[in-house]
Structure 1
Amino acid sequence: MAHLLGAEALHLEYPTRVVFDSVTLGVEEGDRIGIVGRNGDGKSSLLGMLAGLRSPDTGRVTMRGGVHIGVLDQADTLDDDATVGATIVGDLAEHEWAGDARVRDVIAGLVADLDWDARLAALSGGQRRRVALAALLAGDWDILFLDEPTNHLDVEAIAWLAEHLKRRWAPNAGALLVVTHDRWFLDEVCNATWEVHDRIVEPFEGGYAAYILQRVERDRMAAASEARRQNLARKELAWLRRGAPARTSKPKFRIDAANALIEDVPEIRNKVALQSLAVTRLGKDVVDLLDASVAYDGREVLHRIEWRIAPGERTGILGVNGAGKSTLLGLVDGSVEPTEGRVKRGKTVHVATLTQRLSELDEHLDDPVRVVIERLRTSYTIGTGSKAQELTPGQLLERLGFSSTQLSTPVKDLSGGQRRRLQLLLILLDQPNVLILDEPTNDLDTDMLAALEDLLDSWSGTLLVVSHDRYFIERVTDQQYAILDGRLRHLPGGIDEYLRLRSRALNQPPAAAPAAAAPASAGLQGAERRAADKELAAIERRMARVQQQIDADRTALAEHDQSDYVGLGEKMAGIGALETELLELEDRWLELGEQLG
């Protein structure tokens, strides 16, 4: 692989601290590097120095001659008077840019919903961000530097971006350096990880899952003093091995080493104990949406939603922007009334919502953090049964990454990520039994996301999550639903199933009339319906058996001799065949479900 870029003895410091001290790095063709670390440790500064946007105090960055670099930083430098089209393709005639398959793909993946002739001044911040990303990806670059590229993107757009970057260059060509807190994206795209911490940049092989394993090994071997950070990493590794085994099959590390590290780590959540405690706190009735519809100005947003939320349920909600996710959550918390149908709430239900609005802290801006939290409660209990633990608000703050000195800091002097964590803490101290999280991962780094997930693992109420962070949703929820065409649909196949449904919908021509207008007699009737019901039940049983076999084969794979490449290949091929069968069964299951209504 050819050398593209080098950094030698980089030193960077601010008046109050040293950010980097003698950092030396290299980037080769084929490198796909994810940059992780705590907020404020210098990730964006490192990217800026390597891209030539800022100069180090000492040291130098060199680049091979003729290398073209493209940069997406977090600043919005777009021209308000320019149009969407001119920003992305410049002054090229339509026949010129339309003949470029990459440009067409970028436009379809990121800005298909935007008016090509709209002025940028009329767009929202998220839309402008997508235009900036599309303009960059339409160009031809040897190295791409991306700073938080998934911000303002939904699950579909993030999946598209990952696929685009994987196909953009040949395997041993081009290079990518990306700063992101999206751990699914890191795993999907990157073949190396750089951790920024303590004035250095530490390289790891592989994506996020491989990085977590190697970090645990590093901390264990060095007997690191950061015991809490190490335990969170080990817990996260346990989830990666147990809950998402396909991810850890990609990096080049020994599976038996991973198993040895997590053999004493319990299951992420004690579902039985949490469910029991949730029933104790909530009773059997939480919130039932009964044939509930919501319309604004004559336009129906949600159509005849039937959803009975159970105590202890942990559910992720998916949908494109504008699909009605916030309206659905409003029905649950009582801030939205249905225009048809009704909402039934249990007598003991206490709903709290973590919104995206930091303005909720405005009344506390001049108060120190300690004073704000002491007004609510003097203690907070986490865990269940014999493992229940009572924490002071200060101890809870420490779990969320606050130092003891920051307890005296006025709220107005906290960073965006710190305010976000304080906002969550105030909600938890209010002891709700139904918790709604609306994009909770904003402004949090990967370590803080792990701390938040750890805290939610011991939370015993009902949890509803709306997030574009795929990793977070899969990590903290047990099931997912999607809002599709105003209807709430369960996703047995999780986010992958949602993406398949969305892809299918986008590739099909619109129906002559909406499904809601179909006559009541439409669909299968009589013997045909009974046969379809029977086939559906058989498919569900077969899906369960196939999934069990896949899980068993993956466990056997971890115990197989890792030097037996032929045997490993055969086992992987067998698992692949079962996964293909499962996908085919899911497609038929969805097809029958649509026919049966």
Structure 2
Amino acid sequence: MAVIISVERAALALGTAQVLDGVSLGVSGGDRIGIVGRNGGGKTTLLRVIAGELAVDSGRVARLGGGTVGVLTQDDTLDPEATVREVVLGELEEYVWAGDSRIRDVLTGLLGGLDAPALGGLESTVAGKSGGERRRLALASLLVDDPDVLLLDEPTNHLDVEGVAWLADHLVNYRSRPDNALVAITHDRWFLDAVATRTWEVVEGQVNGFDGGYAAYVLAKAERERMAKVTAERRDNLLRKELAWLRRGPPARTSKPKFRIDAANALIEDEPAPRNDVELMAFATSRLGKDVIDLLDASVSFGDRTLLERITWHLAPGARIGIVGVNGSGKSTLLRAIAGEIPLTAGKRKEGITVRIGHLTQDVRELDRLSNSRVIDAVEEVRKVTVLGGKEVTASSLAKRLGFPGPRQQTRVGDLSGGERRRLQVLRILMDEPNVLLLDEPTNDLDIETLTALEDVLDGWAGTLLVVSHDRYLLERVADQQVALLGDGHVRQLPGGVEEYLRLRATVTPTYAAMPPAAGASPAAVRESENVAAQPVSSASPAEQREARKVMSRVEKQLSKLATREERIHAAMAEHVADHTKVLGLNQELREIVDEREVLELEWLEAADTLEP
């Protein structure tokens, strides 16, 4: 493919930092390049150099063929007086954009349709729009414009799971031509895997290139270290653990980048699984007992709007649950209700006597009172030593694992970047030794290296974990099950994970009635879901549909019985925590329940497919 933009021996210093040091690279037609690296490492600077917005100190940047360049920055530059139509469509005549399938795809995917109802319509003004809505408008404007080279700085910010999936699909479909190219800075590893044909890692003034997306990047980087014959201590790092996860993770991942199987297996042949679920479950049970937090027929309303309606949910010791849902569906409200931070409109909340909650919110202002403190002092204010993965860990050691090396630990909290403040929040919560951990969008402002380190820490953390996130990779990585909030006030299990959530959201008519309610859902919630509007017409015969509904009903009853058995086993584990032999036997029963549940969920999904149109 022809080179569109060429960078030759570029060097650039900002202050005392050498951001680029003799970098040579090229962007060719058909390229879809993902840029990764630490926060502050020079990713945005590199993007500005490629765009021609920032001159280099030495070297040369050339744009060949006179192609157009479009840039999505993280700054809000939209005119507040402009209308949505003016921002997104400019001076395009209606017959032009209405007849262009690509533009219609952008309007539907990012704005909710031709009339943009989610944003108040095409004639509404930018003024009054939220930061996330303005971000969508800026991205939509750029995609409609369709420049030859598309440069995106964190395009998935403010997008939910559906939005990220749509954007990945759109870019793959429309950014694969030999006359255009894409370069995107992203910390979203699923997005990187889905879109990128090449990955650039910006580190210490250099840009290292790798073929493929995130999974291929991890493998290639690990191989480079092996080929360099580094020491065993150096090899024993997060790369191998991350690679082990990628190779052993959900089956859906195997259709992503095609690993060189022999090389990958050679690197991880002696690498244990990312976490020992049975051991962590036993430890969590001993710390928490059988009672954690229960919501009983609970509702939460604000004014005329009901976010949670008659939810009954029993959190088990050691459960690791990922929560997805549309923006505004009540995910953060659910965490706050579980934490007991907001009053219930109706119903009850019960909390076990041993429960100690750690709640990571999206508000970093809680660190404002520590602005004049050093990072290490802010961490040691909570505790100087904690236990993680069965081992004592000092505040300084844990801070180093989460991206605060020795010198950075002496920095004033007030001088930290947004990503560093987020890391500090996580550190302080973990040092407080909670046994119930509630994380609300923990990936905000974190780079991939820090995310990997955080996941490694969570692998050794024993307790009940609930994570709200739009990061599909994180949800698959740290959670054993997912649930969804679909905006109707109820919580539903997702046996098929995020892919099932996307399938449900893509269904125009309310087929959500076919989803089994979350474990422990109240009879009222079940009746509510069963009485949603009529099912869409299925291609199956009436007899086949009746049989499918019978199967689903039977499976739901069996799943309910399994949930009851699981609760009894957890209770028994709490009672016999000192009896090692007894606990091992109960663990084996727990494994058998998990296996049986997987078989039943698959049977349920096959029956549900029969009812689909």
CA distance in 1, matches of 2:529, 2:490: 15
| 2:416 equivalent to 1:411 | no
Query: For residue 66 of structure 2, what is the aligned residue in structure 1?
Result: 66
| 2:280 equivalent to 1:274 | yes
The superposition leaves residues 415-444 of structure 1 with CA deviations (integer Å, 9 ceiling, x where unpaired) of: 221111111111111111111000111111
Query: For residue 88 of structure 1, what is the aligned residue in structure 2?
Result: 88
CA distance in 1, matches of 2:84, 2:469: 27
Q: 1:170 to 1:426 in 2, by over 3 A?
A: closer
Say if 2:510 and 2:532, in contact at 8 Å, map to a contact too. Answer: no
* Worse overlay, 300-309 or 165-174: 165-174
CA distance in 1, matches of 2:218, 2:557: 35
Query: For residue 102 of structure 2, what is the aligned residue in structure 1?
Result: 102
Q: How high is the sequence identity, in percent, across the aligned residues?
A: 54
| 2:335 equivalent to 1:329 | yes
Say if 2:33 and 2:198, in contact at 8 Å, map to a contact too. Answer: yes
The superposition leaves residues 135-168 of structure 1 with CA deviations (integer Å, 9 ceiling, x where unpaired) of: 0001122211111000010000000000000111
Say if 1:7 and 1:24, in contact at 8 Å, map to a contact too. Answer: yes
What is the SS of the residue equivalent to 1:120?
Answer: coil
CA distance in 2, matches of 1:13, 1:518: 60
CA distance in 2, matches of 1:497, 1:251: 21
| 2:47 equivalent to 1:47 | yes
Query: For residue 501 of structure 1, what is the aligned residue in structure 2?
Result: 504
| 2:190 equivalent to 1:184 | yes
Query: For residue 368 of structure 1, what is the aligned residue in structure 2?
Result: 374
What is the SS of the residue equivalent to 2:237?
Answer: helix
Pick aligned residue for 1:457 from 453, 456, 459:
459
Q: 1:78 to 1:284 in 2, by over 3 A?
A: same
Q: 1:432 to 1:515 in 2, by over 3 A?
A: closer
What is the SS of the residue equivalent to 1:337?
Answer: coil
CA distance in 1, matches of 2:259, 2:323: 34
Map 1:145-294 to 2 at 5 A: 145-170=151-176, 172-224=178-230, 231-247=237-253, 249-294=255-300
Query: For residue 131 of structure 2, what is the aligned residue in structure 1?
Result: 125
CA distance in 2, matches of 1:338, 1:529: 39
Pick aligned residue for 1:338 from 325, 339, 344:
344
Q: 1:90 to 1:540 in 2, by over 3 A?
A: farther
Q: 1:523 to 1:169 in 2, by over 3 A?
A: closer
| 2:299 equivalent to 1:296 | no
Q: CA deviation at 1:93?
A: 3.4
Query: For residue 573 of structure 1, what is the aligned residue in structure 2?
Result: none
What is the SS of the residue equivalent to 2:443?
Answer: coil
Say if 2:555 and 2:604, in contact at 8 Å, map to a contact too. Answer: no
What is the SS of the residue equivalent to 1:492?
Answer: coil
The superposition leaves residues 347-404 of structure 1 with CA deviations (integer Å, 9 ceiling, x where unpaired) of: 1111121111110101111011222222222211111xxxx22111011111111111
Q: CA deviation at 1:257?
A: 1.0
Query: For residue 394 of structure 1, what is the aligned residue in structure 2?
Result: 396
Q: 1:30 to 1:252 in 2, by over 3 A?
A: farther
Query: For residue 489 of structure 2, what is the aligned residue in structure 1?
Result: 486
CA distance in 2, matches of 1:410, 1:506: 53
Query: For residue 588 of structure 1, what is the aligned residue in structure 2?
Result: 607
What is the SS of the residue equivalent to 1:138?
Answer: helix
CA distance in 2, matches of 1:3, 1:454: 40
Say if 2:548 and 2:608, in contact at 8 Å, map to a contact too. Answer: no
Q: 1:405 to 1:63 in 2, by over 3 A?
A: same
Pick aligned residue for 2:119 from 102, 114, 121:
114
Q: CA deviation at 1:247?
A: 3.5
CA distance in 1, matches of 2:548, 2:219: 49
Letter aligned with residue 123 of structure 1: K
CA distance in 2, matches of 1:440, 1:491: 21
Query: For residue 562 of structure 2, what is the aligned residue in structure 1?
Result: none
What is the SS of the residue equivalent to 2:404?
Answer: coil
CA distance in 1, matches of 2:465, 2:184: 31
Q: CA deviation at 1:532?
A: 3.5
| 2:319 equivalent to 1:317 | no
Q: CA deviation at 1:523?
A: 10
Query: For residue 15 of structure 2, what is the aligned residue in structure 1?
Result: 15
| 2:57 equivalent to 1:38 | no
Q: CA deviation at 1:536?
A: 5.2
Say if 1:37 and 1:447, in contact at 8 Å, map to a contact too. Answer: yes
Q: CA deviation at 1:326?
A: 1.5
What is the SS of the residue equivalent to 1:91?
Answer: coil
Say if 1:36 and 1:181, in contact at 8 Å, map to a contact too. Answer: yes
Say if 1:209 and 1:247, in contact at 8 Å, map to a contact too. Answer: no
* Worse overlay, 203-212 or 25-34: 25-34
Letter aligned with residue 361 of structure 1: L
CA distance in 2, matches of 1:243, 1:303: 34
Pick aligned residue for 2:470 from 461, 468, 471:
468
Query: For residue 563 of structure 1, what is the aligned residue in structure 2?
Result: none
Query: For residue 313 of structure 2, what is the aligned residue in structure 1?
Result: 307
CA distance in 1, matches of 2:142, 2:335: 35
Say if 1:210 and 1:248, in contact at 8 Å, map to a contact too. Answer: no
CA distance in 1, matches of 2:603, 2:68: 43
Q: 1:226 to 1:62 in 2, by over 3 A?
A: farther
Say if 1:206 and 1:252, in contact at 8 Å, map to a contact too. Answer: no
Letter aligned with residue 129 of structure 2: L
CA distance in 2, matches of 1:193, 1:273: 37
Q: CA deviation at 1:516?
A: 7.5
Letter aligned with residue 331 of structure 2: K
What is the SS of the residue equivalent to 1:304?
Answer: strand
The superposition leaves residues 165-188 of structure 1 with CA deviations (integer Å, 9 ceiling, x where unpaired) of: 011144544211110000000000
What is the SS of the residue equivalent to 1:194?
Answer: strand
Letter aligned with residue 607 of structure 2: R
Query: For residue 26 of structure 1, what is the aligned residue in structure 2?
Result: 26
Number of residues of Structure 1 aligned to a counterpart in Structure 2: 543
Letter aligned with residue 300 of structure 2: V
Q: 1:399 to 1:509 in 2, by over 3 A?
A: closer
CA distance in 1, matches of 2:602, 2:72: 36
TM-score (norm 1): 0.85
